[in-house]
């Protein structure tokens, strides 16, 4: 007997600039489902399992060739983090890994966007896709609280250490 765990992707509505079957969307959905599978009700245990998922997703992202595959994986990982919100991980996760994860993701985005439009096009990153990321909340600075520190979703140790 073979158990299949395939599930059709639900089509995105027109307000999304990503195609339903885009690499970014599929990677985001995959990572969100892995993160959701980590939830058992034990915040500390959930955080440990989520760390493993995030580490594997980051490793997979930075192993992609610079250009379209890495851009799509990075976008998918970013969307997965924003979609899932990572409450357990932000509350009880490894602070050092949290700092490392967001530092590497930030460096990867900066590397992508220091390329001029011709270089982006040569690497198959379309202007509409770059504009989608540029115009989305993904690349905007986080809201500031009264002390001038960035606010992050969640209330945990990692969230309070984000730059």
Range 5-18 average pLDDT: 58
> Does residue 82 lie in a domain region?
yes
Residue 77: name the closest of 41, 116, 109, 120 by CA.
109
Q: Tens digit of pLDDT for each residue in 24-46?
A: 888 998 999 999 999 998 888 99
> Does residue 33 lie in a domain region?
yes
> Does residue 97 lie in a domain region?
yes
Residue-range definition of the domain harbouring residue 80? 23-140+150-161
> Does residue 115 lie in a domain region?
yes
List all residues 6 or more positions away from 160 whose beta carbon is below 8 Å from its beta carbon.
149, 152
Question: What are the φ/ψ torsions at residue 62 (nearest 5 degrees)?
Answer: -75, -10
Grade residue 16 by pLDDT with cuts at 50, 70 and 90: low
Tell me: pLDDT of 148 over 60.
no
Q: Provide the 3-class DSSP secondary structure of residue 144.
A: strand
Range 85-89 average pLDDT: 89
Instruction: Give the orientation angle of helix 68-84 with respect to helix 43-62, to 10 degrees.
Output: 170
Tell me: pLDDT of 49 over 90.
yes
> Does residue 131 lie in a domain region?
yes
Q: How many domains does the chain have?
A: 1
More confident residue, 140 or 148: 140
> Does residue 18 lie in a domain region?
no
Distance CA 135, CA 40 (A): 36
Q: What pLDDT score was predicted for residue 138?
A: 57
Q: Tens digit of pLDDT for each residue in 94-140?
A: 989 999 999 999 899 888 888 888 998 899 888 888 887 877 665 55
> Does residue 122 lie in a domain region?
yes
> Does residue 77 lie in a domain region?
yes
CA-derived radius of gyration, the chain: 17
């Amino acid at each position: 007997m073979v158990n299949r765990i395939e599930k059709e992707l639900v089509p995105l509505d027109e307000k999304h600039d990503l195609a339903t079957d885009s690499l970014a969307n599929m990677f985001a959905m995959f990572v969100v489902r892995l993160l959701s599978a980590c939830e058992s009700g034990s915040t500390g245990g959930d955080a440990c399992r989520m760390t493993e998922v995030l580490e594997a997703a980051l490793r997979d992202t930075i192993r992609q060739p610079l250009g379209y595959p890495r851009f799509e994986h990075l976008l998918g990982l970013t969307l997965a983090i924003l979609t899932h919100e990572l409450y357990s991980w932000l509350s009880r996760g490894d602070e050092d890994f949290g700092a490392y994860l967001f530092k590497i993701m930030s460096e990867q985005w900066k590397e992508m966007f220091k390329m001029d439009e011709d270089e982006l096009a040569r690497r198959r990153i379309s202007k509409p896709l770059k504009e989608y990321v540029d115009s989305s909340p993904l690349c905007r600075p986080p809201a500031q609280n009264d002390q001038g520190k960035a606010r992050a979703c969640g209330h945990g140790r990692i969230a309070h250490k984000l730059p």
